[in-house]
């Protein structure tokens, strides 16, 4: 067992723990914080199922962003759709036998990296070229795009230019899952790709990537428009109530 394998194995456990625990804590915070008033952005669905459908449209189609800005929408949606394919394709490295969904995603997933890159470049250009968007950008906003682009580029190079020992890498990943560590291939490109992914996993719960869980908790999108029919109340507002006056 070489030192690089040990370092990467421990790093993967650490990054997974930070990502999992960090997200859990954030979701717990959102879940436990009450929404005392009905504030859906109207027109809003009047049934629970309607609200679920509205949320699905936001998650799958980015429907509000579509209304706002077609350029941001097309680059943003391409980035996320391609990311989904790439993510599913990568499940082949941690499942044995390989899950069906990873096999289905494989043929498209190989090329989806290029689409991700296109989306990232589009968003980066917008962030730099549109003065309004540049004004609201912090260093972290530019760096997030750079990090993702670096992950995509190193991945594409691994796939199409400097292939790594894929079987060896899969053995390493399965070894992590089974707590039976196997040596990691040590070519620099693969290790670069992995380090960048580990960084992404670790910063996820502390960054704007929280928009992923956040959307599901957004009261303007997930609430049902039924305030006249059903009285909405949470504990802290009820405890404030004055004695009944009639």
Partner 1 sequence: MAKFEVPKLGEFLRTPAIEVNAMAHSAPYKANAEHQAKLGFPGELVDDWHDVAIAKMGDLLSKYRSLPVFLDSCVKCGACTDKCHYYLGTADPKNMPVARQDLLRKVYRRYFTVAGKYVPWLVGAEDLTQEVLDDWYTYFHQCSQCRRCSVYCPYGIDTAEISMAGREILDTIGVGQKYSNEIIGKVFKIGNNLGLPQPALADTLEGLEEDVEEETAISVRFPLDQYGADILLVTPSADFFAEPHVDGLIGYAKVLHEAGLSWTLSSVASEAANFGLFVGSYENMRDVALRIREAALELGVKRIVFGECGHAWRVAYSFLNTLAGPFDFLDQRYPVPQHIVEVTHDLMQRGAIRLDPSANDERRITFHDSCNVARASRMGDLPGGQFQLPRDLLRASCNHYFDMPADTIGEATFCCGGGGGLLTDDLVELRVKGALPRMQALKDVVERHQVTHMAAICAICKSQFAKVMPYYGFEMDQILSVHQLVGDALVMGHGR
Q: Does 182 bind partner 1 (CB under 8 A)?
A: no
Closer residue to partner 1, CB minimum distance, 62 or 172: 62
Q: Does 62 bind partner 1 (CB under 8 A)?
A: yes
| CB of residue 201 to partner 1, shortest distance in Å | 15
Q: Does 208 bind partner 1 (CB under 8 A)?
A: yes
Question: Which residues does 227 contact at the CB level (< 8 Å), separation at least 6?
Answer: 38
**Number of alpha carbons in the 13 Å side-chain half-sphere of residue 104:** 4
Q: Does 126 bind partner 1 (CB under 8 A)?
A: yes
Closest CA relative to residue 4, chosen from 217, 194, 212, 186: 186
| CB of residue 96 to partner 1, shortest distance in Å | 35
Give 59's DSSP letter: I
Burial zone of 172 (CB within 10 Å; 0-12 exposed, 13-18 middle, 19+ buried): buried
Q: Which stretch binds partner 1 (CB under 8 A): 5-13, 164-172, 181-189, 205-213?
A: 205-213
| CB of residue 127 to partner 1, shortest distance in Å | 8
Q: How far is CA 97 from CA 159, 183, 194, in A?
A: 21, 20, 23
Rounded CA gap, 115 and 152, in Å?
A: 10
Q: Does 23 bind partner 1 (CB under 8 A)?
A: no
Phi, psi dihedrals of residue 217, rounded to the nearest 5°: -100, 5
Q: Which tokens is 87 given?
A: 């993510």
Rounded CA gap, 112 and 184, in Å?
A: 26
| CB of residue 119 to partner 1, shortest distance in Å | 12
Q: Does 108 bind partner 1 (CB under 8 A)?
A: no
Choice from 23, 94, 130, 195 touching partner 1 (CB under 8 A): 130
Binding site for partner 1 (CB under 8 A): 26, 29-30, 33-39, 41-46, 58, 62, 64-65, 67-69, 72, 76, 123, 126-127, 130-133, 135-141, 143, 203, 206-208, 210-211, 214-215, 217-221, 225, 227-233, 236-237, 240, 242, 245-246
């Amino acid at each position: 067992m070489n030192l690089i394998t040990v370092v990467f194995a421990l790093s993967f456990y650490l990054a997974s723990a930070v990502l999992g625990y960090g997200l859990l804590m954030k979701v717990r915070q959102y879940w436990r914080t009450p929404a005392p008033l009905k504030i859906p952005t109207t027109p809003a669905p009047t049934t629970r199922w309607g609200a679920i459908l509205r949320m699905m449209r936001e998650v799958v189609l980015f429907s509000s962003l579509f209304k706002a800005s077609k350029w941001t929408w097309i680059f943003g949606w391409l980035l996320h759709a391609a990311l989904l394919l790439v993510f599913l394709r990568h499940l082949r490295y941690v499942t044995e036998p390989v899950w069906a969904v990873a096999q289905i995603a494989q043929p498209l997933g190989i090329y989806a990296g290029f689409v991700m890159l296109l989306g990232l470049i589009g968003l980066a250009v917008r962030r730099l070229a549109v003065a309004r968007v540049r004004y609201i950008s912090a260093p972290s906003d530019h760096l997030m795009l750079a990090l993702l682009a670096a992950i995509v580029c190193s991945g594409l190079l691994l796939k199409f230019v400097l292939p790594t020992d894929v079987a060896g890498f899969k053995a390493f990943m399965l070894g992590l899952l089974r707590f039976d560590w196997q040596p990691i291939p040590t070519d620099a490109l693969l290790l670069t790709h992995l380090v960048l992914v580990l960084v992404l996993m670790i910063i996820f719960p502390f960054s704007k990537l929280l928009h992923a869980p956040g959307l599901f908790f957004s009261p303007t999108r997930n609430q049902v428009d039924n305030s006249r029919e059903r009285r909405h109340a949470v504990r802290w507002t009820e405890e404030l109530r004055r004695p009944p006056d009639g």
